[in-house]
Amino acid sequence: MKKLYTVAVLGATGAVGQEMMSILEERNFPVGKLIPLASARSAGKKLMFKGEEVTIQEACDEAFAGVDIVLGAAENDIAQKFAPAIVAAGAVFVDNSSAFRMDPKVPLVVPEVNPEDVKWHNGIISNPNCSTIITVTAVNALNKLSPIKSMVASTYQAVSGAGAGGPIELMSEVEALAKGETYEPKVFPYQIAYNLIPQIGGEAFEGYTSEEMKMQNEGRKIMHLPELKVTCTCIRVPVVRSHSISVTCRFDRHVTVEEVREMIAQAPGCKLVDDLASKQYPMPLETSGQDIVYVGRIRPDLTDDNAIALWCCGDQVRKGAATNCIQIAELLVK
């Protein structure tokens, strides 16, 4: 095992790439050399890392020579374009895009859930969808009580999940509306201020969007539950940061609220925040800017004796993307 590693961030100028660099520093990851990679138009610009300037390099096949770990914060097409060169260079590609998530030869990893899957990588490890990460972190421990047979989930996804332009558009609309002016949406198909948009992604299956199908397809792979069935509705909400998910889990047997609370209180990456009488429950404002998934509003499902309903929140830029990638890299160096 090396003491220091050469780490490249592919897509270093984007919101997730910037967060990756910040978290590498925050978690004191053993970086000997950091190489920020981006498009040609950003090459030569400077970024700060550990109090020093680092120069952005243009992403190209030759840029991966001598690199140990590549953290991917770029779109699918960029990930697919450079993956062969990354693997050929002997680096491990920890990719945040969806390009390789359902490839049976590529591990899909949430370190609190399936860290052992890192061991069978062939040069690429995928980071799951943000809402999937938050949800499986919240519910995985309940598998120890009884295997989860199915889930009904609704995600309430912050505008920053659409990239850096999402919060700008929300704030611009709020300001325009306050002045009695109009604002033409550019990031979202409709006005997001004071509104909800019940579509994220294009249609993928029987009226479900691509974002909604990720919860079932990725959840099966991460939790090693190949028969898991999920009905999911994904909603964009006028919240700046941190996704929220309402989940009902159905089990093989009856489980009690007390059992569920006890398991979640002990689960890695989770914090139990569940006291309705004292108005204590997970909320986006409370969960932004950190890496723990808050879980609360735990109660029996009134339609099924073998089901439990809960509510969870987590920062989708950190735990739902950048931090999870770096936690995977930490597994690699261990």
**By 3-state DSSP, what share of the chain in percent is helix, strand and coil, each rounded to 5?**
35, 25, 40
Q: Is 130 a catalytic residue?
A: yes
Out of 121, 234, 243, 325, the active site residue is: 243
CA atoms within 13 A on the CB side of 116: 3
Residue 45 one-letter amino acid: K
CA atoms within 13 A on the CB side of 16: 28
pLDDT of residue 87: 98
pLDDT of residue 1: 61
pLDDT of residue 164: 87
pLDDT of residue 263: 97
Given a cut of 50, the residues of the chain with pLDDT beneath it are none
The residue count for the chain: 334
Strands (DSSP E) found in the chain: 5-10, 31-38, 46-49, 52-55, 57-58, 69-72, 92-95, 124-126, 148-157, 203-205, 208-209, 229-236, 243-251, 270-272, 293-300, 307-314
Domains annotated for the chain, with CATH where assigned, are 5-128+321-333 (3.40.50.720), 132-316 (3.30.360.10)
Q: Which residue has the tokens 């879980």?
A: 295
248 to 16, 154, 229, 251: CA distances (angstroms): 30, 9, 12, 10
- Prediction pTM value: 0.96
Four-CA torsion 111, 115, 120, 125, nearest 10 degrees: 0
Q: Is 60 a catalytic residue?
A: no
pLDDT of residue 26: 97
Out of 130, 232, 234, 313, the active site residue is: 130
Query: Are the beta carbons of 155 and 273 closer than 8 angstroms?
Result: no
